[in-house]
Amino acid sequence: MVAPPSLTDDAVLEQLGINVIRGLAMDAPQRANSGHPGTAMALAPLAHVLFSKIMRFDPSEPEWPDRDRFVLSNGHASILLYSMLYLTGYGLTLDDLKAFRQLNSQTPGHPERRHTPGVEVTTGPLGQGFADGVGMGIAERFLRAQFGSEACDHFTFVICGDGCLQEGISHEAASLAGHLGLGKLVYIYDDNHITIDGPTELSYTDNRVERFEAYGWDVDPIGEVANDTVALEDAIRRAMAVEDKPSLIVLRSHIGWPSPNFTDTKEAHGDPLGEDEIRLTKEILGLPPQEAFWVPDEVLDLYRGSIERGQAERSEWETRLAGSKVDRTRWDAALRGHGVPGWSDTLPTFEVGEKIATRKAVNTCINATLGAIPGLVAGAADLTGNTGVKLDEGGGMQSVENPGGRQIYYGIREHAMGAAMTGMALHGGVLPVGGTFFVFSDYMRGAVRLAALSRAHVIYSWTHDSVGLGEDGPTHQPIEQLASLRAMPGIQVVRPADATETAEAWKRAVDGDEPTGLILSRQAIPVLAETAGRAAEGVARGAYVLRHEEGERPEIILIGTGAEVHVCLEAADRLAASGVAVRVVSMPCWEWFEDQDDEYRSSVLPEGVVRLAVEAAASFGWDRYADDSVSIDTFGTSAPGTVALEWFGFTPDNVAERARRLLDATRDH
């Protein structure tokens, strides 16, 4: 690769700063004996340009709402981001860099949102950050359209690599971004021709320029200028001037440059260079070859100028916002991802005995509260009406006609939808609600996991939640999804028993600050008399006694979730008629129940009482709460929903019989 252009006296310090970044990129993985130095070394000039010449940010106020956003989609190059956060003054120290990838450090192996100040999104699984950036672009344009440029007017910058572009999620996300015509979205593709296996030509011969042009992006292949800061800045500013489409800058870099033995090799991708190679490389760069983590004061002063500059830019924004006509109540609620004060007063109520699918109940809740939740944006993966996220007002988001539309038509792109929702939530100002059939939550799983890890405030409307969906059969009938999502830390999995519980679940999901999955029925189920007086308190606690037993103590407890709760109530009628003291518990959310104290949990599920769980899903996990379960541990069947449910035993008669058998077996012991 060509050397950097000859330096003027004014550029000497900047080049030293770039070389210091390269030194840190070598030293931290070497100290950890783990990490990815090569990409960070090659992209040091790009990071320098972005952080010192392009982006608007205030390290003293990392959450300033109108800052530019930066996403390192190829998160394995995390040492590049950590080095810039340290140098520009986000609170990281040299000791933090020395603790790279170590226990409880501020510099984990891949960037984590809410763990390290200045990290906007959690990245590492390739392609996720690419799609998160699209969500951030959606959020910025939505807020600008809703509240005006005085409140919101900034860019999202994304660095991505070959791995990001090879993962299928990038195809979906790029297509969506192009369709929506998202300006203020600038991606720099690090085309370094190296993956872990070796040269990208082993598996990757796409024409990336033509691919992104076909998606509707502005594409600028700038070639071999990774060391030319002037060319890099010019390219980025050209992209920033494109207002009606996202931009992709294709940058040909050389991984590990200027390592004499490992430039352009797979070894520079995923392994520390070794002490000898680092010494040789530092000699080329003019750094002290024997000194690790060397940062001279003049370099630190150069980058710490970001603090004063950012504070001035933030102050200008605060003055603009204060002098604008922005409704601060709605703006503040949007930033929090919550409703305006009193928003839940607009929640609907439902008539006892009415039969309504919980997917339709959530749609009633969303539309009733839409006006009081200013950041709410809803959409689905080509299933808008089916999944309860169809908005009565707000219109479809379009690139020109309605950039502030509150309805997003994601198309058949579950992967991109899930990650874009995470990006919107972590950008701030948007409460994204997204829907698909529950079985297709598997397509979203990578994004859902990162949302949980990031504590992103998103709401998933996952519908058609059991074999009760009917004739579409085993390919569309979820079985293991409930258990698998309950096993994931950080997500609240809620399966409401009826429309009344759905309204309470919607309230808690909106008021919360974590991802929530609403698991909703296709089929109509009765609005229960029992939930009318108890759900308001009970749902938020995860489980509650829906019907108390006759007598001082129950002989058996039936625990139901979702559409099976009314089956439990009817089975309880049969058991009670034969003299059994039976309690019915609705358990919409395991996670919320686990948050309760021991006294409450034992009041709902007293020790020493036989328990039978009833849920049209896999039995896995129910041994935590129940002695046995009426469940499904095979794939489903193609039949009308009522027939399928009866076939698998979700009838009052079968549940009552299973309860009697469980009681008899317990008494025999």
Burial class (CB within 10 angstroms; exposed 0-12, middle 13-18, buried 19+) of 83: buried
3-state secondary structure of 72: strand
519 in Cβ contact with 462 (< 8 Å): yes
Residue 82 makes CB contacts below 8 A (sequence gap 6+) with 28, 92, 96, 97, 100, 107, 111, 116
In the numeric block, the tokens 């993985």 are attached to 29
Q: How far is residue 368's CA from residue 507's CA, in Å, rounded to a whole number? A: 12
Give SS3 for 610.
strand
Query: Which DSSP string corresponds to 181-227?
Result: T--SEEEEEE---EETTEEGGGT----HHHHHHHHT-EEEEEES-TT
Task: Take residue 301 and report the two structure tokens written for it.
Answer: 């002063």
Look at residues 623, 650, 655, 353 and name the one whose alpha carbon lies nearest to residue 477: 650
Q: What angle do CA 138, 139, 145 make, to 5 degrees?
A: 90
The catalytic position among 112, 414, 501, 530 is 414
Helix %, strand %, coil % for the chain, to 5?
Answer: 45, 15, 40
Residue 492 tokens, joined = 């609240």
- Closest to 54 measured CA to CA, from 227, 320, 234: 234
H or E segment to which residue 352 belongs:
none
Identify whether 298 is a catalytic site residue.
no
Rounded to 5 degrees, φ, ψ at 522 are: -80, -45
C-alpha span between 228 and 5 (Å, rounded): 7
Angle between helices 128-147 and 414-427 (to 10 degrees): 60
Coil, helix or strand for 337?
coil
For residue 111, whether the previous peptide bond is cis, meaning omega lies within 30 degrees of 0, is: no
- Phi and psi at 518, nearest 5°, equal -90, 120
Report the distance separating Cα 300 and Cα 352, nearest Å.
Answer: 67
> Distance between CA atoms of 237 and 90, rounded to whole angstroms?
25
Q: How far apart are CA 499 and CA 62, in angstroms?
A: 41
What SS3 string covers 522-586? CCCEECCHHHHHHHHHHHHHCCEEEECCCCCCCCEEEEECHHHHHHHHHHHHHHHHCCCCEEEEE
CA distances from 245 to 108, 391, 416 (A): 34, 26, 18
First to last CA, the chain: 78
Backbone angles phi, psi at 253, to 5 degrees: -115, 175
Exposure string (b/e) for 344-375, b if CB count within 10 Å is 16 or more? Answer: bebbeebeeeeebbbbbbbbbbbbbbbebbbb
Q: What single-letter amino acid sits at 285?
A: L
Cα–Cα distance for residue pair 532/530, rounded to 1 Å? 6
Element at 662 (helix H, strand E) = helix 652-668
Which residues are catalytic, by number? 414
